[in-house]
Structure 1
């Protein structure tokens, strides 16, 4: 009989097994990193909830409501020997719609007071931003004082939409 002298070669392990192993290890690493991230975020969120539940709840945000005065305030202002004019378009800001309704109801009284306040202001003051801010604050105080006398809620701010002095 003839002998088989050729050495038997072991069967080749395919690259398929290597590729599957690498894919499984990669998926396992990705899964563990996602799980770890979620675990850390879950702990931070739970502690934030615990901290916020022990503190009193903050009031909800209420957006401001605005009311434009359509007619401008026009008057003469004090100047050094010359006649100067001022024209201001105003808006009122409030959180409560009842405050704006009250201001609208008593608008003739408010406009009269604001016109007198503007007329008593010095022209030089109106040219500086600080003077305009001070005028806005004085107007706010005057409006809120009148609204308080009439039993209406106060407004938050008096805003200048257009401001002209000449």
Structure 2
């Protein structure tokens, strides 16, 4: 019986309390992060409207109006007489603009010939000069169409370009 006199061993602490404490802390952290996120998003600018659906981009194919007769003009040059002959087409996605260009073709041809005649041979001989010429011709066409109350064309295309 002497063995019974030894002090009783302390009971081992249960890990159940530790697991419950850690689970509670993790659940509380997740709940606070969700609450903080919702509060932050609701507190953002309410004036900014988020689009419900993005507008669908509708593809509209280009349409062309080919000016049948070439534009021929005399160019400024040093000592020699030079010519430019240009076959052009107008590009637009709206057929109304092309119909308007056909309707006002005599006025357009006159203005386009004036623009061509104002250029020098050296100026339009380079690629950059041709690009500038296209820009000037497009501006002229759209100015005429705007003055007549018609929609503009998108671009001018050279079908044939001859310098002599």
TM-score band w.r.t. shorter chain: 0.5 to 0.7
Matches for 1:17-96 after TM superposition, within 5 Å: 54-96=52-94
1:151 is aligned to 149
Matched, 1:122 2:120: yes
After TM superposition, the structure 1 stretch with the greater mean CA deviation from structure 2, 53-62 or 83-92, is: 53-62
CA distance in 2, matches of 1:162, 1:128: 15
The alignment yields a C-alpha RMSD, in angstroms, of 1.2
Deviation at 1:59, TM superposition (A): 2.2
Report the 3-state secondary structure (helix = DSSP H, G, I; strand = E; otherwise coil) of the residue aligned with 2:153.
coil
1:142 is aligned to 140
CA distance in 2, matches of 1:100, 1:107: 10
Report the 3-state secondary structure (helix = DSSP H, G, I; strand = E; otherwise coil) of the residue aligned with 2:113.
helix
CA distance in 2, matches of 1:124, 1:155: 28
Report the 3-state secondary structure (helix = DSSP H, G, I; strand = E; otherwise coil) of the residue aligned with 2:112.
helix
Deviation at 1:77, TM superposition (A): 0.4
Post-superposition CA distance 1:118-161 (Å, at most 9, x none): 01001011110110000000000000000001011100001100
Report the 3-state secondary structure (helix = DSSP H, G, I; strand = E; otherwise coil) of the residue aligned with 2:73.
strand
Q: TM-score, normalised by structure 1?
A: 0.67
Gaps of 5+ in 1: 1-52
Q: Number of matched residues?
A: 114
Structure whose alpha-carbon radius of gyration is higher: 2
Structure 1's consecutive aligned runs of 4 or more residues displaced over 6 angstroms after TM superposition are none
Post-superposition CA distance 1:93-124 (Å, at most 9, x none): 00100000000000000000000100100101
Deviation at 1:55, TM superposition (A): 4.1
